[in-house]
């Protein structure tokens, strides 16, 4: 999973909480990252219709949709990012050794299953769920 996912979730939770347009500078300050990174992530969220933008003195990004219905899997899909991904494959398909020639495909399959399982879990968590966890009385936090 990339840092973009954390940036996106944080920004959407904050936009939902604030209930008003926020600039990339305001979001960057709360997320603790650079405004250019915010703009890059927000462009993907806008394309997925999770946020809208408005220019001008009172412009910025606005959260769209119902926070009870927007889940983390939808955000992940908007970013076009897998949860689990191999960036390197061991072995060689052309080698005679069954371990060397078979390992890459086996590991790919394991990662695909893990990615699917993670996405199913993320689909169970909404923006409203995260908001509720943040603003739950401290005595109820785990």
**What's the CATH code of the domain at 109?**
1.10.10.10
Instruction: State the chain's mean pLDDT as an integer.
Output: 92
pLDDT at 92: 87
41 has pLDDT over 90: yes
pLDDT above 70 covers a percentage of the chain that reads: 96
pTM for this entry: 0.85
CA-nearest of 64, 40, 37, 38 to 50 is: 64
Task: Report how many domains make up the chain.
Answer: 1
Angstrom distance (rounded) from CA 34 to CA 90? 36
DSSP 28-43: HHHHTS-HHHHHHHHH
* Residue 38 belongs to domain spanning: 3-140
């Amino acid at each position: 999973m990339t840092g973009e996912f954390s940036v996106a979730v944080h920004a959407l939770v904050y936009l939902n909480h604030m209930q008003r347009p926020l600039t990339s500078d305001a979001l960057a300050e709360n997320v603790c990252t650079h405004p250019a990174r915010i703009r890059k992530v927000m462009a993907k969220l806008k394309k997925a219709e999770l946020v809208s933008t408005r220019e001008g003195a009172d412009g910025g990004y606005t959260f769209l949709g119902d926070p009870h219905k927007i889940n983390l899997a939808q955000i992940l899909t908007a970013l076009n990012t897998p949860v689990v991904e191999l960036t390197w494959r061991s072995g060689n398909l052309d080698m005679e050794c069954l371990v060397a020639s078979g390992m890459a495909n086996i590991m790919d399959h394991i990662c695909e299953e893990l990615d699917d399982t993670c996405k199913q879990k993320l689909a169970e968590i909404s923006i409203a769920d995260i908001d509720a966890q943040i603003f739950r009385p401290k005595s109820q936090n785990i």
